[in-house]
Amino acid sequence: MNAIINLNHFCEVHGPQTIFTTQTIRDKSYIQTTSSNESSSQNILNCESCSSIGSKLFFVSEDNSIMFVSSEKSLFGKEHQNALKQAALRSLCEISSNKDENLVFFGDSRINSLCYSFKIKDSYARGFEKLYSIVILMKDKMFLLNSQPFLAQNIKEIAKQIQESALKVYETEQKQFSQRAERLNTGKLSDLPSRSLKDLVGEQHIFAQLHSLFSWILWAGARYFTEVLTLGSPSMPSFCKDSPDGFAFISIDKEEFMMQNFPSGIGDSAIYDGEYNLRNLKQISKLSFNQLLYCCLVGVQIVIRGKNNDFYKYFKEFMPQAFHHLIVESPKYTNIQKCRILSLPSTDIFIPQNNVCRIDFMDELDVPTFIKYPMELPSKLPTLMNKILYAVDEKLFTNHTMHKYVQALVEEWKNKIICLSHHHHHHDDIAKLKKVLEIQSHDEDLVKYWLSVL
List the chain domain ranges.
4-224, 265-454
Distances (CA, A) of 221 to 66, 148, 217, 286, 380: 14, 10, 6, 51, 52
Residue 71 is predicted with a pLDDT of: 86
Query: In terms of C-beta density within 10 A (0-12 exposed, 13-18 middle, 19 or more buried), how is residue 318 classed?
Result: buried
Q: How much is the pLDDT for 7?
A: 92
Q: Regarding predicted confidence, which is higher, 289 or 177? A: 289
Mean pLDDT of 409-421: 85
pTM for the complete prediction? 0.49
What pLDDT does 43 receive? 52
Q: What is the mean pLDDT of residues 20-37?
A: 70
pLDDT bin (cut points 50, 70, 90) of residue 190 is: low
What percent of the chain is modeled with pLDDT above 70?
74
Q: Where are the beta strands (DSSP E) in 314-386?
A: 326-327, 341-344, 356-361, 370-372
Q: What is the pLDDT at residue 47? A: 79
Of 447, 452, 454, which is closest to residue 297 (Cα–Cα)?
447
Cα–Cα dist 57/147, whole Å: 30
* Gap between the Cα atoms of 451 and 449, Å rounded: 5
Instruction: Return phi, psi of residue 10, to 5°.
Output: -105, 110
**pLDDT, tens digit (0-9, with 9 covering 90-100), for 227-259:** 554 444 444 444 444 444 444 444 444 444 444
Q: Check residue 365 and give its pLDDT.
A: 65
The pLDDT of residue 44 is above 60? no
**When comparing pLDDT for 426 and 286, which is higher?**
286
Strands 341-344 and 301-306: parallel
- Between 162-166, 347-351, 391-395, the lowest mean confidence (pLDDT) is in 347-351
Of residues 366 and 84, which shows the higher confidence score?
Answer: 84
- Model pLDDT for residues 293-352, shown as the tens digit of each residue: 888 888 888 888 887 667 777 876 667 666 667 777 777 888 887 787 888 877 788 887
pLDDT at residue 263, as a whole number: 44
Domain 265-454 fold: Rossmann fold (3.40.50)
Nearest CA to 373 out of 397, 353, 389, 393 is that of 353
pLDDT the model gives residue 31: 60
pLDDT for the residue 250: 45
What are the C-alpha distances in Å from 411 to residues 397, 404, 416, 447?
19, 11, 9, 14
pLDDT category of residue 423 using cuts at 50, 70 and 90: low
- Give the percent of the chain with pLDDT over 90: 10
- Tell me which range, 162-166, 312-316, 423-427, is most confidently predicted by mean pLDDT: 162-166
Q: Specify the range with the lowest mean pLDDT, choosing from 79-93, 128-142, 165-179, 224-238.
A: 224-238
Confidence tier at 183 by pLDDT (50, 70, 90):
low
Mean pLDDT to the nearest integer, 401-428 = 80
What is the average pLDDT value for the chain, to the nearest integer?
Answer: 77
How far CA 219 is from CA of 3, 215, 223, 229, in Å, comes to 10, 6, 7, 21
Euclidean distance between CA atoms 438 and 325, whole angstroms: 28
